[in-house]
Structure 1
């Protein structure tokens, strides 16, 4: 066996030093760009002045003058700082809605299982990632739905009307993204099909759904759909809302995927044929992966939009994260506290910003990884 070179042990520190140097270079380029022209220098000074004026006041409102302890809204009356006791006292409703406290371990288990599954699939070096995602998504969706609903295997039944808060926001967003992505891709492929009937049907469905506002699609699913089913047949309100979200977002994503498919050169099919692949095989093995890469910024943009659109479920009687906050603000106990409303909306904005910003940064990391692989 050949002895390991002593220089291999220095590879880690060298790579870390290189990353630090690249970061410093990037910071230097950013600082130079801030003063690269008189206009940029003036705007930089203006932003620095605005930050110097606003940040101390914001810190004072958030921390120094904030109300951190108390038992009711009376403790926040005539106070000029954030009312954090509102968030503290309503934390359970904000996170879980009316989900029974004794059964919330099921929410934690479903969340941890989803995070662990995606982490295992998306970790560096994972093989057959696309196939694993295609298998994991439906299996996890069904398993998590059974776990959260219960009624089987000794689990207590929890109706979807008890779901709410941040839990419901995550469920609606995750379901919409997980189901709209494959359906949108299939619709895009169908619209580009050589069979005229299939292409016309897919195009008509996409244009019809995209021509409606999401509020209208939810109205059709929640109010109109029960009028067309036989008497005695009832469907869950949350399931109807999820189906409406899936259809609407799938139509939007279909156009994003279609743009990615059009960006793939037609010669890629010819390359697949030269390797002995059928048109279907070349489409799924060669064209679709490239189309997804091209459409990735648009896909992430739609996913971020989906996360923000979840707040619209409030109009159909489902209390998501923002809906629970607004319901708490309507409680007479908190009406006299002037800063409660501002505190609630600051928390909502921070949560949505963290989720959307994290998703956008992850998409940038994927693009950077793909660009490095393409360069090598």
Structure 2
């Protein structure tokens, strides 16, 4: 039968169009796929509306946004004037006003570096990694501290706010990961002395609270340093935080190493690869991929614990906001301050969480 002749046979019945696609299909399959599920979904949506409606009215609809004093607040909603009036202090802390452009340059350089490394298929990524690990810390330290190239010296005791929070978190993250990897490898080493030293280090730092570590770094560490060597408080806190979280990172990485079958390393030995080439080319890439959630979870906990530096006299983001609440001109706006601090911490932590999920999907190759 050619195409010009009519069909004699009926066309077979086709299934109905799949209604599970799109928004309606998602609602039917996830929220309203049965009587019980539909009732629970409706009750949950009603509860959310009941809870979120007054919050939205307070935080957005009835809020006051612009002004320079508490007289600009009507009292019907949130007074975000407190945040806008003290925004520069929240970001820069006590950094000199005339030198804050140095902080802007440093933050912009860090943002460009992180974006370059986060976006896939960007050119010269290896060189950017080298710059991020070697060049950027040197440039950032010279810019922020000054004392060279006709830049006025700014002591670290004048650092604060979001700038200090990002400094502590960045140094802690960048320092704790490689140190934790080395400790994890050392704990699995066949050399008894290396293994014992790594076990003692990990168990000691995991067995004490971070508050104790910060006090020890602030009070005891200078006793072991010659008096002529200047060892400022921020540097001592950074070392304590890096050592503390490297112990937790070591256990996360060790869990990934134990998940790799022994046949992987045996096959690498059969190829004649040395220990470091086996670890760097075969074992560690697979182990680190498996423990991405644990690594990022440690990073998030580290970022949130940066607020503990307040106990040794460093004013991070949360401490600067709390200090602003003691100002007699802004009494009674603690809720707005804490909500803003919580929002800032959530933005950074949520961003790390989402990027870790993206990396998991991108690196997943099946097993």
Aligned residue in 1 for 2:135: 139
Aligned residue in 1 for 2:81: 85
Aligned residue in 2 for 1:44: 41
SS in 2 for 1:66: coil
Q: Matches of residues 256-295 of structure 1 in structure 2 within 5 Å?
A: 256-295=252-291
The CA deviation at 1:45 is: 2.1
Q: Does 1 or 2 have the higher relative contact order (CA < 8 Å, sep 6+)?
A: 1
**If the length of structure 1 is used for normalisation, what is the TM-score?**
0.86
Match of 1:362 among 349, 352, 355: 355
Structure-2 change in CA distance of 1:53 and 1:189 (3 Å): same
Where does structure 2 lack aligned partners over 5 or more consecutive residues?
1-17
Structure-2 change in CA distance of 1:62 and 1:122 (3 Å): closer
Distance in structure 2 (CA, Å) of the matches to 1:283 and 1:30: 47
Distance in structure 2 (CA, Å) of the matches to 1:131 and 1:258: 29
Residue 98 (1) aligns with residue 94 (2): yes
The CA deviation at 1:33 is: 2.6
Residue 114 (1) aligns with residue 107 (2): no
Residue 253 (1) aligns with residue 246 (2): no
Aligned residue in 2 for 1:166: 162
Structure-2 change in CA distance of 1:345 and 1:27 (3 Å): farther
Distance in structure 2 (CA, Å) of the matches to 1:73 and 1:90: 12
**RMSD across aligned C-alpha pairs, in angstroms?**
2.4
Q: Matches of residues 185-264 of structure 1 in structure 2 within 5 Å?
A: 185-264=181-260
Match of 1:32 among 25, 29, 33: 29
Aligned residue in 2 for 1:331: 327
Match of 1:61 among 55, 58, 62: 58
Distance in structure 1 (CA, Å) of the matches to 2:177 and 2:127: 14
SS in 2 for 1:98: coil
Structure-2 change in CA distance of 1:179 and 1:39 (3 Å): farther
The CA deviation at 1:362 is: 0.5
Distance in structure 2 (CA, Å) of the matches to 1:27 and 1:268: 47
Structure-2 change in CA distance of 1:38 and 1:89 (3 Å): same
Q: Higher helix proportion, which one?
A: 1
Aligned residue in 2 for 1:349: 342
Aligned residue in 2 for 1:181: 177
The CA deviation at 1:32 is: 2.0
Work out the number of aligned pairs and report it: 349
Deviation larger for 82-91 or 276-285: 276-285
Distance in structure 2 (CA, Å) of the matches to 1:40 and 1:297: 31
Distance in structure 1 (CA, Å) of the matches to 2:27 and 2:285: 34
Kept in 1: contact 2:64–2:80 (CA 8 A): yes
Kept in 2: contact 1:190–1:198 (CA 8 A): yes
Kept in 2: contact 1:226–1:234 (CA 8 A): no
Distance in structure 2 (CA, Å) of the matches to 1:46 and 1:184: 46
Distance in structure 2 (CA, Å) of the matches to 1:315 and 1:67: 33
Deviation larger for 98-107 or 172-181: 98-107
Structure-2 change in CA distance of 1:311 and 1:233 (3 Å): same
Structure of higher CA gyration radius: 2
Structure-2 change in CA distance of 1:126 and 1:71 (3 Å): closer
CA offset digits 1:79-116 (Å, max 9, x no partner) = 13111111111011001101122212211211222222
Kept in 2: contact 1:74–1:334 (CA 8 A): no
Kept in 2: contact 1:209–1:248 (CA 8 A): yes
Aligned residue in 1 for 2:8: none
Deviation larger for 361-370 or 67-76: 67-76
The CA deviation at 1:29 is: 4.7
Structure-2 change in CA distance of 1:295 and 1:131 (3 Å): farther
Where does structure 1 lack aligned partners over 5 or more consecutive residues?
1-20
